[in-house]
Amino acid sequence: MRLPGGAPPYLQAAPLALILLLFFGVPLLLVVVVSFWTFDLYGFHPALSLENYRQLLTATSTYKVYLATVMLALIVWAIALVLAFVVSYFMAFHVRSFGWQVGLLLICTVPFWTSDIIRMISWIPLLGVHGILNQTLLKLGLVREPLKFLLFSPFAVVVAYVNLFTLFMIVPIFNSMARIDRALLEAARDSGAAGWRIIAEIVVPLTKTGIALGSIFVLTLVMGDFYVVAEMSGGQMASVVSAMSNQISLLQYPPAAASAVVLLIIVTLMVAGILRVVDVRKELTG
């Protein structure tokens, strides 16, 4: 009997390939084709026009938005990486029971089971000028004026991103760490290696697959967001996808498609860059 463990790889990968082919391949094809089309009030017109790309690539706002979004992604990535590494380290090496590991992971997940939309609304009573945090700071005498930058600012966007996306860094890093044999760490400790050296020379190298995967998640999530940035900046910042969503909401598919193609190319190149540093598939076949 040839079952999952020993089945030929292309059979094992077939369900994934088929689902992606149907539900991603078809939309992708449509997007690429439509990105060359023209449109007017009455519909879309098949064409081989580069106009959508020309408009996108000649607008200075395009570059500004990409720059701003990439900057955001880098900041969020750095913070999430540090947080996730420490949290995962704790869960992987200090929490001894598998049951508790799962429990802690779930505790980190529960807030995500309340709609993003509700959670975004509820930042206002927390971080607003008259919000709980400012009231507390004022009462404690730590500030004289309420802090306005807490909400509707780049700061608020970063806080919300870190709040939402760190989990996506934790899960792969934790799984990588969970695969490290604790005997290895104990042996290193027994031979007198300092804690930070164990982390730098054993834990980090053995966790790099998880770090790379988490980085891919955070990068793609930030680059693809338009909702959080609008909400937390008080509608005063744009992301790469905000223009796209705006165009779609008014049936302007061809320019939206062109901008999706450009986004797809750029972010895929970024991911390929990460994979050049860490080949996440190498350790699979090794």
Partner 1 sequence: MRTTESGSRRPLSFYILAGFFAAFVVFLYGPMLTIYVLSFQGPRGGLTLPMNGVSLHWFRALMGPQRTGDFVGPFVRSLALGLIVLAATVVVSIMAGLAFRRRFFGANLIFYTAVASLIMPGLLIGLGVGLMFQITGAQPAWWSSALGAQLTWTLPFGLLIMFAVLSRLSRSYEEAARDLGASGWQVFRHVLVPILSPGIIAVAVFAFTLSYDEFPRTLLTVGSQNTLPLEIWAMTTNVTSPALYAVGTVTTLISFVLIALAIGLILSIERRRLRRAVISRGASD
Partner 2 sequence: MSRTTKNRRKDPSRREFLKAAATVGGLGVGAAMVGPAPVIWAQNIKNVTLRHVGNSYSAITDIGQQASKDLGFKVQMQIAGSDALINRAVTQPGSVDILDMDHWAYKLVVPRGVLQGIPLSKFKWWDQVVPIFTKGTTLQGAPLSRQGVLPYTIQYLEKPESIRFAGGPTDVISIVPDIYNADTLGYRPDLIERPHHWRELLDAKYAGKTAIVAIPSIGIMDAAMAIESRGDFKYKDKGNMTKEEIDRTVAILKQLKARRQFRAFWNSFDESVNLMASGEVVLQSMWSPAVTAVRAKQIACGYPLLAEGYRAWASGLGVMRHVKGVKLDAAHEYLNWYLSGWQGGFIAKQGYYSSVPDTAKKFLTPDEWGYWYEGKPATAPITDPFGTVMAKSGEVREGGSLWDRMGHVACWNTVMDNNNYMVQQWISFLSA
Tell which positions 127-166 bind partner 1, by CB under 8 A.
131-132, 163, 166
Residues 204-263 that bind partner 1 (CB under 8 A): 206, 209-210, 213, 216-217, 220, 223-224, 227, 241, 244-245, 248, 253, 256-257, 260, 263
Kindly list the distances between the CA atom of residue 234 and the CA atoms of 118, 135, 216, 230, 280, in Å, as whole numbers in the listed order: 15, 20, 27, 6, 38
Q: Which of residues 37-76 bind partner 1 (CB under 8 A)?
A: none
String marking each residue 131-160 x if it binds partner 2 according to CB under 8 A: x----------------x--xx--------
Q: Which of 263, 269, 279, 254 is nearest to 222 (CA)?
A: 263
Interface mask (CB under 8 A) for partner 2, residues 101-130, using x and -?
----------------x---x--xx--xxx
Q: Which of 249, 269, 272, 286 binds partner 2 (CB under 8 A)?
A: 249
Q: Does 85 bind partner 1 (CB under 8 A)?
A: no
Do 253 and 247 meet the contact criterion of CB atoms below 8 Å apart?
yes
Choice from 50, 67, 78, 106 touching partner 1 (CB under 8 A): 106
Q: Tokens at residue 78, please?
A: 């750095």
Cα maximum dimension of the chain:
76
Residue 79 interacts with, from partner 2, partner 1, none (CB under 5-8 Å by kind): none
Nearer to partner 1, 63 or 112 (CB): 112
Which range in 28-36, 42-50, 51-59, 63-71 contacts partner 1 by CB under 8 A?
28-36
C-alpha 190/C-alpha 205 separation (Å) is 20
Q: Which of 248, 263, 266, 274 binds partner 2 (CB under 8 A)?
A: 248
Q: Does residue 276 belong to the site contacting partner 1 (CB under 8 A)? A: no
Residue type, 69: T
State both tokens at 158: 């970063």
- Candidates 45-53, 64-72, 140-148, 265-273; binding stretch for partner 1 (CB under 8 A): 265-273
Nearest to 42, CA basis, from 220, 251, 199, 192: 251
Q: To the nearest whole angstrom, how small is the minimum distance from the Cβ of residue 79 to partner 2?
A: 22
Nearer to partner 2, 25 or 125 (CB): 125
Region of residue 37 (left: phi > 0; alpha: psi -120 to 50; beta: else):
beta
Measured on CA atoms in the order 190, 191, 194, 200, is the torsion positive or negative?
A: negative
By beta-carbon proximity to partner 2, the closer residue of 66 and 89 is 66
Interface with partner 1 includes 172 (CB under 8 A)?
yes
Q: Does 43 bind partner 2 (CB under 8 A)?
A: yes
Give alpha helix (H) positions in the chain. 9-20, 26-34, 51-58, 60-89, 98-109, 116-121, 123-127, 132-139, 154-178, 182-190, 195-198, 204-224, 227-232, 240-249, 253-277, 282-285
111 binds partner 1 (CB under 8 A): yes
